[in-house]
Structure 1
Amino acid sequence: MFRRRLAGALAAGMAAAALLTGCGGDDAAGGPVTLKVLTWEPGGTEYWKQVKTSFEAGHPDIKLEMQSVPFDKYPEVQGPYITSQSGPDVMANNAGLELFDRRGAYVPLGDKAAEITKDLVTYSGACEGFDTAKPCYGVPFSYQGNVLYYNKAVLTAAGLDPEKPPVTWDEFGAACDAVKKAGKTCLALGLSGTFPAYWDFPEIARNYLNEDDIRALLAGKLSWKDPKLVAVLEKLAEITTKGWANKNAPSITMLPDGADIFQRGDAAFAGTIISDAVNWEAFGKALGDDKLGVTRWPAVDPSAPLAQKFSGIEGAVYGVTQWSEKKQAGLEFISWLAGKENGELWVKHGKGQPLNKNVDKALLPSSPAFQKIQEMVAQPTLHAGVMLSGPEADALARGWQQVTLGQLTVDKWADQMQQALERSPTKKQTK
């Protein structure tokens, strides 16, 4: 039944794609088109105010009506729209499987994809199989990925060198012991929600998986009983079972709760992202740019092929919905999002990493943390976190909570992850 529904949805999507490439307008006579956009406001409210003002100034025939939803509530708001095939004309989803799981809701861009994204550094996270030759379902404008932020003042107080953060897993463990003795939390962490899947899992996984393994994970062809993935779960479990994180990690979210622990100066480290709501700028404002450091996550196996690389991925992808009666206006908006004007708004107001290659480099921030991130992103690899389906992301967070509380063994956690894989509609289609 699911396959029949999916096939029908995709067929409808391809038919709708023809509307995007046609010359016809939208069904809005006698006034501007009102385009409804569903977003969780990556980059913050001020950035999106600037988006609305700037886009409407250049497109007087289109008005934006923004519906902003907190990220942790986004799926439960978006889900009914997709089920009823009604609602917003443009919606956001994270690049990768989160988007692919919902691809039946979006119009494939077809030949328009190459034209819209010609000035972007990277784009494949919006396309099936991370392959731009396959259907692509929207447009990103930001670059995203994971780093480990650290508070130099906390490291100094613990007797550690603030200019030499730990680079190996053993060094990280020793640093955590020293920080705990000094009365602080080592790693600020929240395990409720999907953030562990996007922010923590890929940084452990790159010690055990090569790029072929990561693509097998995407395709649902790598079992969670595989020793490599079991080893990843074991290392994730160590973070909490060895007491390196705050004790209340299982009961709080990473955003905002875990991030707040770090911003208050109560933790040495926080593993988060390079763009969007909780990045170098937010931490720099809270701690002081001179106190904020940024590095890669410590390597479990420094000799692993991907261990010293950066887990990079496009940020939120904005696509036109199949049910929209304003597809041409939607196409104009997402095309504008990919452009230089919005890229510069993203840098100025969102303080994020732009994908557009033509953004004026003079606008880039001078923050030491931002500059360090520029060095790190130069060697990107596939981002294992966005290879997880919705059921897997949920099972990862829930299982980590249970392991931390002593309610589950790592082997049983692997069993739950395998069951989640088997429930994943997208991965069932590729197996």
Structure 2
Amino acid sequence: MVVASPALAQEITVWDVNVDDAAHATYYDHAKAAFEAAHPGATLNLLSQPDAEYYTLLGTALASKAGPDVIWANGGAQAKALVGGLIPLDDKLPDLIRKLVGKSAFTGPDGKLYFIPTTLQGHVVYYNKALYKAAGLDPEKPPTSWAELTKVCDAFKAQGKPACFMMANKEGYNAEFFLSEAANQSLTAQQQADWLAGKLHWSDPPIKAILQAWVDTAKNGWYQEGGNSQTMFMDEFALFEQGVGANVMGLLSNVAHWKQFETNMGVDKVGVYPMPSPTVAADQHEGAPGVPLDGGVGYGVNKDSANIDLAVDAVRILASPEVLSYLVNDTGSVPANTEVNTSGIDSPGLKQIMGWLATRAVPTTHANSSAAELDEWHHQSQLLFNGETTVDQAATALDKVQAEAKPQ
């Protein structure tokens, strides 16, 4: 650890869009206190930035070499676009990095890590235990295979209402979630890598089977009526809380997560499980579905910072398990650091999720698709849902977009 001399009044500036969010206040307060206690004479200055203009402002600042010392970013395309202005952190924070999941969202084209993830984005299924019991199902034994999931949905279909699953696909987001959830065991690790590279196509059997499952689940009455005309954020999740559907494909990030549902429905009224896939790939195990996840947000260090070592230690503290525990408790975010102590949080759902991080994590297939593919999948998923196209036709259209977005 680098300790600044009290005589050198150094300031480390952090840009972050959440600084003014009251739910994040305790996290930032503890990060600031820990940093300044470790570095007498140094100050951690957390500056809030406007969400809508953040990446434009940041790009301008970095180009003029006047940006902050520490940079907050969303994982994926936004973070990867910034790596040219950052330092790699692999050799700076090796002990911390070993404790993290979700790193691929912050890895540069050279394979090095440029941001330390603090939270995760990903998908699990949340379910209403009371509705399971009313349908004659064991609320403490959620499905672990596609056959079991089909039996669950058959039980709800026999009742008429509620729906087995919530579906709100007006923007096409539910189709994104379904792609990742259905792929979590359907694809081998190599196929996931091939998908990222554009070598596995929409018309190839593993992906085409997912498109077919999308059609079949709709035909088999898994969803409530009107799903293509309803919005996901936040209508779908509010309807789930009201009991319109027994299951919902929810999130691990900042909304539609364990804390929201347990707060609004009751800790003992909501359960969670990884969604089974329609097929199980050769390197997967039946009954142990994966959790599609990757880094949600994280912090990196500006290569033009005048105080690189201090900035690195600020990132270490912002991502430390002690400080992150406050963020998890107050916001419900799932931490990327697997050593965050959640024992003081009364949430069986969170405890289950934390237990899956080290052993069940799989790539988020839709996040490894190009933006153009996702736009086309939004459109094709709605046509498929309405019976206005076929799986073969949809796969052909998606292949064309993929070939343009990821030329081989």
Superposition TM-score tier, normalisation by shorter sequence: 0.7 to 0.9
**Structure 2 Cα separation of the partners of residues 211 and 235 of structure 1:** 21
Moved more, 193-202 or 281-290: 193-202
Are residue 286 (structure 1) and residue 264 (structure 2) matched?
yes
- Residues 240/347 of structure 1: CA separation in 2 closer, same or farther (3 Å cut): same
Q: Are residues 1:56 and 2:38 paired?
A: no
Contact 1:35 1:326 in 2 (8 A): no
Give the AA of the match of 1:117: L
Corresponding position of 1:270? 248
Secondary structure of the residue aligned to 1:190 is coil
Q: Which amino acid aligns with 2:390?
A: T
Cα distance, 1:112 vs structure 2:
4.5
Q: Which of the residues 233, 236, 239 maps onto 2:217?
A: 239
Work out which of the residue numbers 275, 294, 297 in structure 2 matches 1:317.
297
Mapping 1:70-85, distance limit 5 Å: 77=53, 80-81=56-57
Which residue pairs with 1:395 in the alignment? 376
Change (3 A) 1:82 1:56: closer
Q: Distance in 2 between matches of 1:62 and 1:405?
A: 54
**TM-fit CA distance, 1:414:** 1.6
Residues 150-189 of structure 1 aligned to structure 2 (within 5 Å): 150-180=127-157, 181-189=159-167
Q: Equivalent residue of 1:272, what SS?
A: strand
Which letter maps to 1:366? Answer: D
Q: 1:342 aligns with which of 311, 317, 323?
A: 323
CA contact (8 A) 1:117 1:123 kept: no
Take 1:416 and 1:79, find their aligned partners in 2: how far apart are those partners? 32
Question: Which residue of 2 is the match for residue 125 of structure 1?
Answer: 104
Q: Deviations over 1:137-181 (max 9, x none)?
A: 311023443221111111222333323333443443443343243
Aligned to 1:420: 401
Q: Distance in 1 between matches of 2:393 and 2:311?
A: 45
Q: Please say if residues 168 and 302 of structure 1, whose CA atoms lie closer than 8 Å, have aligned partners that are also in contact.
A: no
- In the alignment, the residues of structure 2 paired with residue 187 and residue 331 of structure 1 have an alpha-carbon distance, to the nearest angstrom, of 44
C-alpha contact (below 8 Å) 1:139/1:337 kept by paired residues = no
Residue 404, structure 1, aligned to residue 376, structure 2:
no
2: CA distance, partners of 1:403 / 1:226: 18
* Inter-partner Cα distance in structure 1 for 2:399 and 2:189: 20
For each residue in 1:390-426, what CA deviation from the matched residue of structure 2 results, as whole angstroms up to 9, or x when unmatched? Answer: 22233323321222233332223223322332343xx
TM-score by length of 2: 0.79
Per the TM alignment, residue 375 of structure 1 is displaced from its structure 2 partner at its CA by 4.0
* 1:369 and 2:349 aligned: yes
From 111, 115, 120, the equivalent of 1:134 is 111
Amino acid at match of 2:180: P
**Inter-partner Cα distance in structure 2 for 1:37 and 1:237:** 41
**Contact 1:204–1:300 under 8 Å retained in 2:** yes
The residue matched to 2:186 in structure 1 has which SS?
coil
Amino acid at match of 2:96: T
CA drift of 1:109 comes to 1.7
Secondary structure of the 1:149 match is strand
Amino acid at match of 1:93: N
> 2:39 maps to what in 1?
none
Residue 215 of structure 1: how far off its partner (Å)? 0.7
- The number of equivalent residue pairs is 388
Q: CA deviation at 1:339?
A: 1.5
Matched residue type, 1:419: K
Distance 1:214 1:303 in 2: 11
Q: Name the CA distance, whole Å, in 1 between partners of 2:380 and 2:314.
A: 40
Deviation of the 1:374 alpha carbon: 3.8
Q: Partner letter of residue 405 of structure 1?
A: N
Letter of the structure 1 residue corresponding to residue 316 of structure 2: S
The answer to whether the aligner puts 1:222 opposite 2:204 as a matched pair is: no
1:356 maps to which of 318, 337, 345: 337
Q: 1:405 to 1:158 in 2, by over 3 A?
A: same
Q: Structure 1 residue 211: deviation in Å?
A: 0.5
Q: Which residue of 2 aligns with 1:92?
A: 73
Task: State the 1:118 CA deviation.
Answer: 3.8
Check 1:290–1:228 CA distance in 2 against 1; reply closer, same or farther (3 A cut). Answer: same
**Contact map agreement 1:119 1:358 (CA 8 A) in 2:** no
Contact 1:106–1:137 at 8 Å: present in 2 too? no
Match of 1:353, SS state, is coil
1:107 aligns with 2:86: yes
Q: Once the two structures are superposed, what CA deviation does each residue of 1:297-334 show, in whole Å capped at 9, x if it has no partner?
A: 13423575335232243432324487977784764543
Q: Residue type of the partner of 2:296?
A: A
Q: 1:177 to 1:362 in 2, by over 3 A?
A: closer
Q: Which runs of 5+ in 1 are unaligned?
A: 1-22
1:367 maps to a residue whose letter is S
Q: 2:301–2:312: 8 Å Cα contact kept in structure 1? A: no
Q: Assess if the C-alpha contact under 8 Å between 1:309 and 1:381 holds in 2.
A: no
Letter in 1 for 2:101: T
* CA–CA separation in structure 1 for the residues paired with 2:343 and 2:151: 40
8 Å CA contact 1:33, 1:61 repeated in 2: yes
Per the normalisation by structure 1, the TM-score is: 0.76
Q: Deviations over 1:280-303 (max 9, x none)?
A: 221112222222122221342357
What residue is the counterpart of 1:18 in the other structure?
none
Give the letter for the 2:382 counterpart. Answer: Q
